[in-house]
Structures are given as C-alpha cells and as structure tokens.
Structure 1
C-alpha cells in the first residue's frame, strides 16, 4: 500500500473524524493531485495499461512526464502564495476505495503520524515527474479526458470557469 496522506490548508488538525464515507487518504503515488489549494479546479491524468497509443499521443504529445495536472491560469497567484500541510496517516485502517484515483478510506477516527508544511506548491509538484499545465479554461480538456482511455481525476470542477 505504501504511505497514505491527506492535504489540508489547516496546520492544526489533531484527529480526522469520519464523515459520510469515512476519512479519505491519498496514495503517495498520486499525492501530486492534491498539492494545490483546496478549491483549485484541476484535471489530472496519467497512462494506464488500457491507454491507447492515440490517447497517449494526443494528451501527452512530447511530454516526458508520467503525470499531467492542468489548472486554470487564473489560479497562478493563489498557487504561488499557498501554504498547504501534508498529513501522513498510519495505513492499518484504510481500504482501497478507488485505484485509479489512489483514494483510500477508513471508517474510524485517524490520528496523523506527522504533518509537514509545503511552502512552495509548484516546486513540490515538479519534484514528482509531473507536468503542471496552466490553461485559460479546463472545460474542453475535462470533457476530452473523461471520454479517453486515460486514468484521470476531475477535481473541484464546480469551481472551474465555464466557457
């Protein structure tokens, strides 16, 4: 399973209480999907074994990155100024909820093992073989990725510009 994390803008969480579906965590492999301010809309994707050569060429082009995270250009300043906190969780009580998105869930209260501040979100993301793309709007990309053969997550899209 590897390490599990939760990203927050709150540096003082002592315990995570289960909500409707439990306490959510993200795998270290896909942690980059959450290394942004909470409400920043994003389209994230990567190739899986089912990804077609056509989709690989269309969505990755000449990129050598393993993962792509696209955000709206209007969020640049907020991303540059963001301080977020990475909570590491014990893995014992978590079950895999969504393998494509790297989501795990626990049905009990979780006390984090540690918390690490991240002062430079973009730097942290770029350490992880991620290509960070800035776009005026995510609408068209989100629609195209949704119907592709890629592994993807559309996160906080309710806050995206509607074009």
Structure 2
C-alpha cells in the first residue's frame, strides 16, 4: 500500500473517518495542530498496528557497506523493520486501513527529513478507507526484511550508532530495555 502521484497516506485502524481535522497529538513535542500523513518513501513504516513499537533501519547516502551488511543483512534489500515477539498476534490480526489524501495541502514536517507530511487545514480523503491486508505480505512484496526480536532496545542501540538512516515509532510501547 503506497500513495499514487499527488497523494499522501494516513494509516488507521478506524475505517470510518470522513474528514481529518488538525489536532495536537497526545505525544506531540510541538504545540501546532496538524493532520499527519506519509509519502511514498515511508509508507511502509506504517504497515503495523498503530500502537506497535518498531525500529526501521534503511540505507542512506552516508551508509557504509559494513553497517549495511551488519544491520540490514543479506536478502533484505535496503531496509529492515523490527518488532517484538509480543506484537506478532496483533500483526497477524489487525485490520489496518489506508486513507489516500490529496498531497496539495501537505508540506514536509521537517525540511531535512521530508517523509512526514503535515497539513494545518482539514483534509477529506480522496475515497473510502482501503484495507491494507496482510502486513507480512506487504513487507515481503516490498522486499523489506522483517525481524522479530525479544526486545527492540539492543537493536535500536546498534541502529542509532550506525551510519544507517533510522526511525523509531511508538517505542514507548516497547518492552523495557534488558538490564546489563
């Protein structure tokens, strides 16, 4: 599930949204109200249950071959996603939907990392919510490695110390870091 040209996507477990209103998220670090969406390059970061903690690692312009081989590994293309075992049932059973939104009212949230798109005006979807389907099949079809780990924190540490691009989403929902 990726946006077409001129579109961005918003992923949700609610298939009944008819209008997206700007709001300040409970976890927001900024006071501005936004409608959030993602572009094509990062849509796969949201092929997960909404509250599922995940670590995303991807090859960037400055990524070394050693870091790519060590962290992403062979057979995973240029990207790997990691989740905890505790979230496997939710990954299998979640009903996840994508809303196609017009790209026009959106702008990059941060100029140096333009994947997150925000709008400050209400936005109506271009059509009804579309079921994303089997999240494992989405990853497979995109050639994205999906790792299942007992705990995300050791992997997070390795990724953030590397030359790879990375993102951590909903990490507050991850199991506590192992001691020692």
Aligning the two structures, in what range does the TM-score lie when normalised by the shorter sequence? over 0.9
Give me the whole-angstrom Cα distance separating, in 2, the residues matched to 1:58 and 1:156.
Answer: 24
1:15 is the counterpart of 2:19: yes
Give me the whole-angstrom Cα distance separating, in 1, the residues matched to 2:153 and 2:131.
Answer: 31
Match in the other structure for 1:151: 165
Deviation at 1:100, TM superposition (A): 4.1
| Aligned counterpart in structure 2 of residue 78 of structure 1, from 87, 90, 95 | 90
**What's the TM-score once normalised by structure 2's chain length?**
0.84
Q: Residues 28-70 of structure 1: CA distance to partner in whole angstroms, max 9, x if unpaired?
A: 2211110110111000011011112221121122234222110
Runs of 4+ in 1 over 3 A off after TM superposition: 98-101
Contact 1:40 1:75 in 2 (8 A): yes
Alignment of 1:16-35 (within 5 A): 16-20=20-24, 21=32, 22-35=34-47
Unaligned runs of 5+ residues in structure 1 are none
1:102 is the counterpart of 2:108: no
**What's the TM-score once normalised by structure 1's chain length?**
0.93
Unaligned runs of 5+ residues in structure 2 are 25-31
